[in-house]
Structure 1
């Protein structure tokens, strides 16, 4: 039997990717109490990194939104692992922190990270509404354009 969130993913025609292994000496998620902390994820698709490069030089805002959405799918894939496959355990997306690899002149980081925020609301409804930061950075690991970390409350 599928759960409510699995049904919602199906309705949206969203297939979550396989949760990626960490790139260094850290774990992809940690549960403490009723909170799940998801380590920073990037825009990795079936063929590897997508949207490599900087916003404002290599990509426009719309491409950045798509990168953030793909990144959020990877966040949810890690979350699914953390909750043993049962996304119905998620009570709320508490916070997203989005990092945007961008030129000094680029100032649309919030619009880019909306790609991740919008996906959380699409999937989790009101429980997907969250506190958030959207921060510019001069570079990110392996030249990814966007990185998102997250905190979720679970049952």
Structure 2
């Protein structure tokens, strides 16, 4: 099954690439690797604001991370032209806006990792880091970046 068939089956429409909010580009391709800049969680087209452990729980944070995955896929599509050219999702790095006592950043980040794995199958198995941070730009609850290999 192609990546696009899987996305269709999941009811996912890829969004266009977001315009960067600062001095960076959405992606850089070097050799067979594509590096996607960090993407902020969005809900209803606006930054998904909140802090895990304060006003957002793990389940909602996981939904936010899944929303980030959809945006990352839209940017990856723009970067490579065809998601079926992706040979491997190499790594995700997740920054979770959380209180000092919140310790479930890894579970929040699963929202992104699980969707990536569902869409790409074995090619979606990736290395990952998940950090709790004091703040994310614009008060977003989650920011995630991605590295992919393309053929």
Q: TM-score, normalised by structure 2?
A: 0.97
> Structure 1 segments of 4 or more deviating over 4 A?
none
**Structure 1: tracts of 5 or more residues without a match:** none
> What displacement does 1:46 show?
4.2
Residue 16 of structure 2: aligned partner: 18
Q: How far, CA to CA, are the matches of 2:44 and 2:120 in structure 1? A: 24
Give the TM-score normalised by the residue count of structure 1. Answer: 0.94
Structure 2, unmatched stretches of 5+, are none
Task: Tell me the number of residue pairs that the alignment of Structure 1 and Structure 2 aligns.
Answer: 151
Q: Does 1:144 align with 2:140?
A: yes
Output the aligned Cα RMSD: 1.1
For 2:27 and 2:36, locate their aligned partners in 1 and report how far apart those are by CA, in whole Å.
4
**Aligned pairs (5 A) from 1:1-155:** 4-50=2-48, 52-84=49-81, 86-155=82-151
Alpha-carbon distance in 2 for matches of 1:123, 1:76: 10
CA distance in 2, matches of 1:123, 1:13: 12
